[in-house]
Structure 1
Amino acid sequence: MIWGCTEWQEPQIGEEQVYVLTPRDSLKTDVATQLFYWYGVEGATHYELQIVTPNFGRIDQLVLDTNVSGTKYQFTLNPGEYEWSIRAYNNSSSTGYTVHRLYIDSTLNLNNQQLILKSPSDNDTTNNPRQIFKWQSLYNADSYRFELWKNSFTGDFVLFRDTPKDTLAYNVPGEGRFVWRVRGENPSSNTIYSDRAFYLDTTLPNTPVLQQPDDGDFINSAQLDFQWTRGSQTGSSIRDTFFLATDPNMTDLRERRQVKGNTLSLDTLSNGVYYWRVRSYDKAGNTSSYSSTRQFTLQP
């Protein structure tokens, strides 16, 4: 019996349409931060979102041109007249554009406005104490109040600063979980706070300690079981990389694998002399020293 295989074909979405949830067409509002939200199209992998002023027939400025994998995107606009478009696409086809108008009125009242935080991303994990905090500016905010706390907003206070800019650089002390928030202010009003968290981990993972096989072992088993330890450690999650070579300098690599646990089994090696070692990496980007290198001989 001969089994045939059917080549997978990507869905054709050229006849589909993107339907918008918010903002509605021709909306007039003084809320500068808008949530662009649409229904997903089956078979689409991404969506192209464009915003221009005043309209696509007479473009004075391309305000935004971005590709989104989800079905929502938040963006802050200055007062003015806009048209925005959205289309769905995949590698082989795309829908037509859905186009809506939007009018942003000016106001000095910040109470209904929302500040969009840009970086670091929410729940980011890093080993760099030098953090660049960024947010999207509001046309009617004269300054921004920035706060940084350890663990939570009821935890240890780290930094408070008022700045007219939409960027603040700071060397964060210590390690652990930090939360930060920003609000826009002018003499008569302020936005609510927008907040995020991040994790700072500057501690190197422990150096792995090899357990088995022992150095100098002669092995005649078809399956090799490697095992090591690295001790208990707090901080960001850790993965190990296993290295296997045919020379003591570890230049002629035969295996290099990321391992979630502290064991690895191999059954594809030919007879000969091998060398192995392990190194640990954590989510923050810290790297341990290499373990010691062990040698073993695989024989019939």
Structure 2
Amino acid sequence: MKKNKLILIIIGIGLILTPILFYLGSNPSSELLGEKKDYDQEIRSADDGFENNDNFLNAKNISGLTSPLYNLNQSDDDYYMIDIAPGNEEFTILIYFDHDSGNMDLTLYGPDQNWLADSDDSSAGGGPGYESEQINIVLPTSGIHYILVDGVNAGNLYNMQWATDAPPLDPPSLISPANNLFTQTTIQNLHWTPVSGATVYHIQRDITPGFDTIPNNFTTETNFTTESLSDNTYYWRVRAYNAPLGEYSTYSPTWRFTVDTQAPEAPLPQTPSHDSTTNNNTTEMIWTVPSGNPNLYHLQISTESDFSPLTVNITTPSNTYITDPLPDGQYYWQIRARDAAGNWGPWSITDRWFTVDTVGPDAPVRLSPIDGEYINKDYAYLDWEASSGAVSYQVIVSGIYNNTLSNTYLNLSGLAQITYEWRIRAQDSLGNWGSWSSTWNFTIDFTPPTYAPMMYTLMNGTITNNNTPTFTWETLTEIDKYQIQFDDNEDFLSPVRDVNVSESSYTLASALPDGTFYWRLRAHDLAGNPSNWGANWSFTIDTEIPNTPVFVWFKLNQELNLSNLIFFEWIGDVDTGEFQLQMDDSDDFISPLLDIMVLGGNYTSNAFTDNTYYARIRCIDNAGNIGNWSDTVTFTMDFETEPPGGTEVNIPGYELLFIIVSIFGVLFYKGKNFSKKNKV
């Protein structure tokens, strides 16, 4: 009995709500009806959407469909089939329609198509002229059952819903707007998941989480669009309702969203300060937090005041930001804030800049000592040019000095005889160090070479006709230069030449006059320390050619009864050199038969055949000067004709004639001043 009473109560509630639901479902302007659901579109056609469901055999199976079905068209008998699960035998079927368009009835049949019940009229209509037909029954068995909707077949529209003794409704799950959303949009679409068995959804929203002032909204859809909302935080929840059973689900969890259309104020840039210069290229940018609850900042940095192009263009939730390394230069920067609703505030003051300078001054230009220089003292003076923008300099001298000073020079003393390396760099007022100069070195050496170079040429006592002779000597190591002096006096008090050369030879640049000279040599090491002078050597310059010799006698040796040899004798400068004697059978001497160098004043030739011959002679002195050829003499050799008296030639007075001719030749030679002048 108690169960039957409960069923009657539920049916009563259903009868009350049915006209409302019918009105909302059939009236296109109804808030609950809204747009048709997808499955409404699926089943709707010229009839009830199921076409030939006009008998038991082609009854439409609604077991898998969701109650209710809307806007069905009753143009003929409509049969439906439903599978009742075991335990759900308590069954309610309801249709509601416009009575003015014609009456309609419901009939329920069992699994064997046996009649079970007819509907009763209900007063729970949807308004004037609306009516419903309803069957409430506890089925004797589960399984397939049939529903017949019949009437005057006037094409009347009807809605049909059904219910079994099902489990309680689940609460909807909220979808959007997302919980804790901040938004600029004043009109919000509230959206949730559908609930099986729900016919209506109840929405509550308020500006307090306790829903103290509750605007209630109902809809058959799974979404609801609000009116335009003012800036505030809103709380909302939804529950499902099953009209046939009159059951509500519990409320969904409460979500909230905030409507915010007001942007934050502009932040104030703080660091780096305006028109400042920094040598930190990973610059820390800091700004104030403005009012308006910002949660994001937009930072822009550019090399141009119009912020085109952008060097940095980032968003950050913090009011500080450290840049990636910035190239040296001047930068403009601006910042703006955004709140959680996405409202961007105005930019900060744009006429604000800072400068990045991470490059130190150029390496100083060093003046002295030059790289590789040798110093023959125990102290050194280091100096360099001032670098642009430099305020100090760091100087490192290997092993003895490493310090910073503001001067452009450094004095070092008490230095050992070793090689020192040094380098230098400059620092500007921001603390930027420039690059190091290259490493230079200098050597302290005040010990002279141990000996003078050994002289090679010109050898001591040399006589030469070259008045720009070349002098050579021993090559020494670690020598900067050789000093060579020339004088016409071996005391060298006033040298006629004093030159320094780097090679181990020297050729006089200009000619010396004829005469006797002296030369000496010493070496200077790389530090300029000189060795002792070497030995004094002499040489003589003689550029004058010798006098031309004169034949005073030549004799065919057959006249001397000495076979076919020839004896030559001449007068010349026999003490200053040697003589070149030529004899040929032609007076052009192109290929002399005899060409010989002779010391002294006579020569006896080899044997020659009978012929006419030519002879000439000249002097080459000790300096190599070559004299002129003498006059050519001619003679004929004829050994086939014996002289009178046979082979023994003894002509009285012949020898006397030879002596007279010789004396005459000498007097003639002297008389013509053919003797050479004395030489220095």
Shorter-chain TM range is: 0.5 to 0.7
Alignment partner for residue 268 of structure 2, among 209, 228, 245? 209
Quick one: distance in 2 between partners of 1:139 and 1:262? 50
Structure 1 equivalent of residue 354 of structure 2: 296
The aligned amino acid for 1:117 is L
Query: Equivalent pairs: percent with the same residue?
Result: 25
Alignment partner for residue 309 of structure 2, among 252, 257, 263? 252
Q: Could you tell me whether the CA contact under 8 Å between 1:115 and 1:194 is conserved in 2?
A: yes
Shift of 1:152: 0.1
Q: Could you tell me whether the CA contact under 8 Å between 2:179 and 2:256 is conserved in 1?
A: yes
Alignment partner for residue 140 of structure 1, among 197, 202, 209? 197
Residue 289 (structure 2) pairs with residue 198 (structure 1): no
Q: Could you tell me whether the CA contact under 8 Å between 2:264 and 2:290 is conserved in 1?
A: no
Quick one: distance in 1 between partners of 2:192 and 2:315? 36
Shift of 1:287: 1.0
Residue 234 (structure 2) pairs with residue 175 (structure 1): no
Quick one: distance in 2 between partners of 1:219 and 1:256? 21
Kindly provide the CA deviation profile for residues 2-43 of structure 1, in whole angstroms up to 9, marking residues without a partner as x: xxxxxxxxxxxxxxxxxxxxxxxxxxxxxxxxxxxxxxxxxx
- SS of 2:300 mapped into structure 1: strand
Structure 2 equivalent of residue 224 of structure 1: 283
Kindly provide the CA deviation profile for residues 52-76 of structure 1, in whole angstroms up to 9, marking residues without a partner as x: xxxxxxxxxxxxxxxxxxxxxxxxx
Aligned CA distance change for structure 1 residues 134 and 267 (closer, same or farther; 3 Å): closer
Shift of 1:180: 0.9
Residue 152 (structure 2) pairs with residue 115 (structure 1): no
Q: Could you tell me whether the CA contact under 8 Å between 1:110 and 1:184 is conserved in 2?
A: no
Structure 1 equivalent of residue 334 of structure 2: 277
Matches within 5 A, 1:120-131: 120-131=177-188
The aligned amino acid for 1:212 is T
Q: Could you tell me whether the CA contact under 8 Å between 1:245 and 1:253 is conserved in 2?
A: yes
Specify which structure has the higher proportion of strand: 1
Quick one: distance in 2 between partners of 1:137 and 1:280? 40
Q: Which protein shows a greater Rg? A: 2
Quick one: distance in 2 between partners of 1:120 and 1:260? 23
* Unpaired segments ≥5 residues, structure 1: 1-77, 82-102
Please report the TM-score for the alignment, with normalisation by the length of structure 2.
0.27
Kindly provide the CA deviation profile for residues 160-207 of structure 1, in whole angstroms up to 9, marking residues without a partner as x: 112222221013533343221111221521111113312213221221
- SS of 1:171 mapped into structure 2: coil
Shift of 1:131: 0.6
Aligned CA distance change for structure 1 residues 292 and 243 (closer, same or farther; 3 Å): same
Q: How many residues align?
A: 199
Q: Could you tell me whether the CA contact under 8 Å between 2:198 and 2:240 is conserved in 1?
A: yes
Specify which structure has the higher proportion of helix: 2
Quick one: distance in 1 between partners of 2:63 and 2:337? 52
Quick one: distance in 1 between partners of 2:253 and 2:170? 14
Q: Post-superposition, which runs of at least 4 consecutive aligned residues in structure 1 deviate over 4 A?
A: 103-106
Structure 2 equivalent of residue 149 of structure 1: 206
Quick one: distance in 2 between partners of 1:240 and 1:285? 11
Q: Could you tell me whether the CA contact under 8 Å between 1:123 and 1:196 is conserved in 2?
A: no
The aligned amino acid for 2:248 is N
Quick one: distance in 2 between partners of 1:134 and 1:144? 11
Q: Could you tell me whether the CA contact under 8 Å between 1:213 and 1:227 is conserved in 2?
A: yes
Q: Could you tell me whether the CA contact under 8 Å between 2:169 and 2:198 is conserved in 1?
A: no
Shift of 1:263: 2.0
Quick one: distance in 1 between partners of 2:240 and 2:249? 5
Quick one: distance in 1 between partners of 2:296 and 2:250? 39
Aligned CA distance change for structure 1 residues 251 and 219 (closer, same or farther; 3 Å): same
Quick one: distance in 2 between partners of 1:140 and 1:110? 10
- SS of 1:207 mapped into structure 2: coil
Structure 1 equivalent of residue 217 of structure 2: 161
The aligned amino acid for 2:181 is D
Structure 1 equivalent of residue 323 of structure 2: 266
The aligned amino acid for 1:213 is P
The aligned amino acid for 1:242 is L
Aligned CA distance change for structure 1 residues 281 and 233 (closer, same or farther; 3 Å): closer
Quick one: distance in 2 between partners of 1:169 and 1:150? 17
Aligned CA distance change for structure 1 residues 196 and 126 (closer, same or farther; 3 Å): farther
Structure 2 equivalent of residue 18 of structure 1: none
Quick one: distance in 2 between partners of 1:285 and 1:182? 27
Quick one: distance in 2 between partners of 1:210 and 1:161? 49
Larger RCO (CA under 8 A, 6+ residues apart): 1
Please report the TM-score for the alignment, with normalisation by the length of structure 1.
0.58
Structure 2 equivalent of residue 29 of structure 1: none
Shift of 1:134: 1.5
- SS of 1:194 mapped into structure 2: coil
Aligned CA distance change for structure 1 residues 267 and 161 (closer, same or farther; 3 Å): closer
Shift of 1:153: 2.5
Quick one: distance in 2 between partners of 1:213 and 1:150? 43
Quick one: distance in 1 between partners of 2:304 and 2:253? 52
Shift of 1:155: 4.2
* Unpaired segments ≥5 residues, structure 2: 1-61, 66-84, 89-162, 360-680
Shift of 1:156: 4.2
Quick one: distance in 2 between partners of 1:178 and 1:109? 34
Aligned CA distance change for structure 1 residues 147 and 184 (closer, same or farther; 3 Å): same
Q: Could you tell me whether the CA contact under 8 Å between 1:124 and 1:197 is conserved in 2?
A: no
Quick one: distance in 2 between partners of 1:221 and 1:162? 63
Quick one: distance in 2 between partners of 1:156 and 1:291? 42
